[in-house]
Amino acid sequence: MVLLALICAVLCSAGCSTVKGDRRPAALKAEQKLVDHSREFEKRIYPVAEGVYSAVGFGAANSILLKGRDGVIIIDTMESNEEGRAVMEEFRKITPLPVKALIYTHFHADHINGAAVLVQEGTEIYAHETLDGLVNRFNGETSTIIGARSMRMYGNYLDKKEVPNIGIGPFLGIDSQSTLGYLPPTKTFKDRLKATVAGIDFELIHAPGETDDQIYVWLPDRRILICGDNLYKSFPNLYTIRGTWFRSLKNWYQSVDIIRDLRPDILIPCHGRPIVGAEEINRIATDYRDAIQFVHDQSLRGINQGMTADDLVELVKLPDHLAQSPYLQEFYGKVSWSARSMFFGNLGWFSGDSADLQPLSRKEEAKRMSEIAGGEDKLLEHLRRYLEKGDVQTALKLSGHLLRLNPKNQEAREMRVKALTALGERETNAPARYYYLTEAEELRSDFIALTKVKLDSSLADRLPLSLFFDFLAAGLDSKASLTVNKKAGIQFRDKDEAYTIHIRRGVAEIRPRLLDDLDLLVYAESKPWKEMFLNLRSPLTTLAGFEYKKGHTLEFMLFLNHFQRPKPKRAVDLE
């Protein structure tokens, strides 16, 4: 019996399945347009203006240095301590002045996780007031699957030759040796905040777009604006295939309008090169916001006509003058994904077609397709035929039906790999390309592309206890606990916090206090409890070290064993 297979990692999951089988030959071809886009992420420090430097190409995002009178400000800190350290080494060639402040433009991992190697004693960390809560939410109940999908869309399991860039940067620097150094902000604000650090006057402006906590950094005396992830050289990721909460397109284009209203002379995105010239910036920003509003308005127009998400994909196409803009090529986001997101974000899951009210399961649908084709063998023949004539999207769909019916159908599996590879090779959009190719590799080598990072005990101190209990509830084995009705209370002496876990016939109710009529009462310290969940301590020795006012170690161990970290599967492997 394995106790607590649950691991709550800051990005997603800390484990990874063993890769089996032969790996396929490297160096699959990539679309030349995507290859050429790599020039945007040449690894260098851009001296944007006197005392202003942008580090491009060191990881997924940029880090920006502002040199002041007696110190520096660093805006965004990269995706790990390793990338943060590499950037800091370059910044130290420019100036030895102390880091007086860090500024997070938003909560995404590639902007916050290198902070620990950049701060010094007394460094203030600025962010929007919602950032820390969003970090905790993002790293909560769905972090395992979002982590796996992230590894697919960023190509972290692919040969480096197959990953010319990730659409908004050269690569995502997360691997089994990565350490995460996020530190919570020390100064926050709601709408706008004016401040002076190291003689640098700046204003922080809330500008929700890619995230709800997105902020701009405005240097009014220099007319320089750092715009976070609300504008970069690609059609924006109005929806991301790794999975996300709904991103408001209206908020996004209205936040781009802030750029146009400020009319900066220099615009520094947090992905890619700086842009110089007020007229050029205004032209780019106008096209950018118009593209977002076009998708927003035309999607709503189609929705109000009764169109489904699939219909919107056919309706919503950028007009030529926008589709041809160098800043709106679909290297990272896609218009079609954005239109679908508008539908589901505004109307939810129901398409409006009555056939979707009680749809067949994926397996039952596969059975019907097989029956229509004349049996599995005939369906397999159709799969071969579509693959041979180059209709790889249809081949991919049919392979999914066949594998739902028979996951051990090796020929269908091999043809699915071929279809995925063909789709990936022809794809200009980086996340789509790597998702196709990574799924092909997962099927070929029999593994799941989970995120791997190195965790340390300092992580435990920075995460709230509530996060661990939220993650715990989502890991309850409902079948195994269907006959259980038991309450366990945990009092954390060092935090003056207490929680009750009530397993009640397939549901784990979590209360942030001790309830009456407890079956188990445990007195614990928060640090070992958190470290146990982060896989930094042995569950057996940790639980044995707690004080039991009611019940005993073995009883608590058996209680917690009802919680098991769910293991992600590929869609075609689900029963």
pTM equals 0.90
At residue 575, the pLDDT reads: 60
Mean pLDDT, residues 75-103: 97
pLDDT the model gives residue 452:
83
Q: Is a pLDDT exceeding 70 seen at residue 23?
A: no
- Identify the pLDDT of residue 8: 34
Q: What is the pLDDT of residues 127-180, one digit of tens each?
A: 999 999 999 888 777 888 999 999 999 999 999 999 999 999 999 999 888 999
pLDDT at position 329 is 97
Q: Read off the pLDDT band of 4 (50, 70, 90).
A: very low
The secondary element (H helix, E strand) that includes residue 434 is helix 430-445
120-127 average pLDDT score = 96
Reply yes or no on whether the pLDDT at 456 is more than 90.
no
- The answer to whether the 362-445 and 457-560 domains have the same CATH topology is no
pLDDT digits (tens, 9 = 90+) for 300-343: 999 999 999 999 999 999 999 999 999 999 999 999 999 999 99
pLDDT at 15 exceeding the cut of 50:
no
- For tokens 């996340």, name the residue: 431
Mean pLDDT of the chain: 92
CATH number of 457-560: 3.30.1050.10
- Label residue 197 by pLDDT band (50, 70, 90): very high
pLDDT for 13 beyond 60:
no
Domain topology for 36-306 = Metallo-beta-lactamase; Chain A (3.60.15)
Q: How far apart (Å, rounded) are the C-alpha atoms in residues 204 and 274?
A: 19
Per cent of the chain over pLDDT 70 is: 95
Query: What per-residue confidence (pLDDT) applies to 24?
Result: 52
Average pLDDT over every residue of 187-201: 98
- Name the CATH topology of 362-445: 1.25.40
pLDDT tens-digit map of 36-54: 999 999 999 999 999 999 9
Report the candidate in 574, 525, 531, 567 with the shortest Cα–Cα distance to residue 545: 525
For the chain, give every domain's residue range: 36-306, 362-445, 457-560
Taking only the tens place, the pLDDT of each residue in 380-392 is 999 999 999 999 9
Percentage of the residues of the chain whose pLDDT score is greater than 90: 83
- Model confidence over 361-387: pLDDT tens digits? 999 999 999 999 999 999 999 999 999
Q: How far apart are CA 467 and CA 139, in angstroms?
A: 8
Angle between helices 335-347 and 278-304 (to 10 degrees): 50
DSSP assignment of 505-570 equals: SS-EEEESSPPSS-SEEEEE-HHHHHHHHTTSS-HHHHHHTSEEEES-HHHHHHHHTTB-PPPP--
Q: What is the pLDDT of residues 249-258, one digit of tens each?
A: 999 999 999 9
